[in-house]
Amino acid sequence: MKIILGSSSPSRKKLLNNTGIEFKVKKPTIDETAQKKEFKGKKKDLAVYLAEKKALSIHAGPEEIIIGADQVLLQNNKIYDKPKSIQEAKKHLKALSNKTHNLISGTVISKKNKIIWRHQGVSKMKMHKLTDKEINEYLSKSGENILKCVGAYNVEGYGSKLFKKIEGDFFSIVGLPLIQLLSAIRKIGKD
């Protein structure tokens, strides 16, 4: 069995690399914006839906499994995407300041063009009340890389100091629910 990570996320690649398993990376070929518009389900289910679309967009051989993943930040029934600019990142952080939001991670495995495993993780994230100065300092330290992060933060880096309380799986927050994912891969390998 060969493993393909269907993601261009550096965080997901690093997480999977740290496990020691062998895999290759292929970038999904979906238009995320179009897929979000087509989606008709509940907002909390969007991450799994996008993960499925990503995994199924990648061509693989019969002995290859594909890992697809996505995250959705939901606060007061509003979805926050990756910020398109530092100004938008600043707006996101101001809106999330002193509030609790849900970071929903969707992860799937596909084989032979069928989804054979799904996982949804929900993490409750409570931010400190952030001043403009704190937001500006954080964005200055983080730089343009923050534009690749839903919610304009990365808890594995400088973003950890933005939070008052986090309830959920750390690995899911960073990008992949490693414990559940590795268990699923192990089981699929035995089948």
Tens of pLDDT, residue by residue over 135-150, are 999 999 999 989 989 9
Three-state DSSP state, 63 = coil
Does 190 score more than 90 pLDDT?
no
Catalytic hit among 31, 45, 70, 132: 70
Please report, for the chain, the start and end positions of each structural domain, with discontinuous segments joined by +: 2-190
Q: Residue 191 — very low, low, confident or very high, per pLDDT cuts 50/70/90?
A: confident
**45 counts as catalytic:** no
Pairing of strands 2-6, 100-111: unpaired
pLDDT band at 15 (very low <50, low <70, confident <90, very high): very high
Q: Please, are residues 72 and 43 in contact by the beta-carbon 8 Å criterion?
A: yes
pLDDT at 101: 97
Residue 98 CB coordination number (10 Å)? 11
Q: Is the pTM of this model over 0.85?
A: yes
* pLDDT, mean of residues 23-39: 93
> What mean pLDDT comes out for the span 53-80?
95
Record the tokens describing residue 95, joined without a space. 């809106």
Q: Are 122 and 177 in contact (CB under 8 A)?
A: no
* Domain range 2-190, CATH class: alpha beta
Residue range 32-40: mean pLDDT, rounded: 92
